[in-house]
Amino acid sequence: MITKRVAQIFLGLMGLAFCKVGIEALASPQAVLSNVGITLETVSAFSAMRAVYGGMHFVFGAFCFWGIFKNIQAPLLLVALYTAGFVIGRLSGILMDGSPNSFVMTWLFTEVFSLLVSASLLYLLNKKGEPKTATLL
């Protein structure tokens, strides 16, 4: 029960983080991407960033909130896969391009932490025999 409660709290925090990024990027994708030195110059660029950083992140956040009450393992797996992808991408960037700015490094540490927490919680929930659901509903 403690593991499940920790997972629910973690998903709540991840849901807030995803939704925050999503809302900010929907409202002003340039403001979000200025943190990493990206300048959006075309309508298509704005559209793409609103889709990825705005819409997708907002829906990921909503999925985390949904998982708190319906299926805790599905959004934990999403967070684990999402953060694993970011960690792989950022580490390969560091190896090939050098060290990024402090904003990106902060996100790398946050993503590593989130990956470890989500993977650990999935392991513990499966080890304890929490019911596995075949469907999302």
Averaged over 30-37, what is the pLDDT?
89
Task: Give the CA angle between residues 76, 80, 134 to the nearest 5°.
Answer: 45
* Span 74-124, pLDDT tens digits: 999 999 999 999 999 999 999 999 999 999 999 999 999 999 999 999 999
Averaged over 30-41, what is the pLDDT?
91
pTM confidence score? 0.85
| CA atoms of 92 and 19, how far apart (whole Å) | 27
| CA atoms of 46 and 33, how far apart (whole Å) | 10
Predicted pLDDT of residue 36: 86
